[in-house]
């Protein structure tokens, strides 16, 4: 991968989109955490298994989302000419 300084310091290259957390996303996340905490403190052993599985699934989902996000960054950098893929 070759890095170029094309457009460095210009207003267009300095513009970055910040990820925003909307209210529904925050509510959904808080609800999910509350359910997990409630299940963990339940007395049934199967509830602990469900909570453990849900935590594992959440971790895998977050890792996948980070990987997809990184791929988008690379594609955007290539399409704007900031980097070139070496062959």
pLDDT of residue 24: 75
71 vs 17, more confident: 71
Q: Does 10 have pLDDT greater than 70?
A: no
Q: What is the pLDDT of residues 42-76, one digit of tens each?
A: 767 777 787 788 888 888 888 888 888 899 999 99
Nearest to residue 1, comparing CAs of 74, 77, 86, 78?
A: 86
Sequence ranges of the domains in the chain: 22-84
- Tokens 């453990």 sit at which residue? 52
Q: How far apart are CA 30 and CA 72, in angstroms?
A: 27
Instruction: Name the least confident of 18-22, 32-36, 44-48, 68-72.
Output: 18-22
């Amino acid at each position: 991968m070759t890095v170029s300084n094309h457009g460095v310091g210009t207003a267009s290259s300095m513009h970055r989109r910040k990820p925003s957390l909307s209210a529904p996303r925050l509510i959904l996340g808080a609800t999910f955490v509350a359910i997990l905490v409630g299940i963990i403190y339940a007395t049934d052993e199967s509830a602990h298994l469900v909570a453990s599985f849900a935590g594992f699934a959440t971790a895998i989902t977050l890792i996948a989302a980070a990987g997809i996000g990184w791929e988008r960054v690379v594609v955007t950098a290539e399409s704007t000419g900031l980097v070139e893929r070496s062959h």
